Amino acid sequence: LQMHEDRLAEEIVREREEEIRNINKGMHTVNEIYKDLAHIVGEQQDDIDAVEDHMEDANKNAQAGLNQVQKANDKADSACIVC
Residues 7-47 pLDDT 10s: 999 999 999 999 999 999 999 999 999 999 999 999 999 99
Is-contact 50 56, C-beta < 8 A? no
Q: What is the pLDDT of residue 44?
A: 94
Buried b (16+ CB within 10 A) or exposed e, 10-36: eeeeeeeeeeeeeeeeeeeeeeeeeee
Q: What is the pLDDT of residue 83?
A: 56
Q: Which residue has the higher pLDDT, 80 or 67?
A: 67
Q: How far apart are CA 45 and CA 34, in angstroms?
A: 16
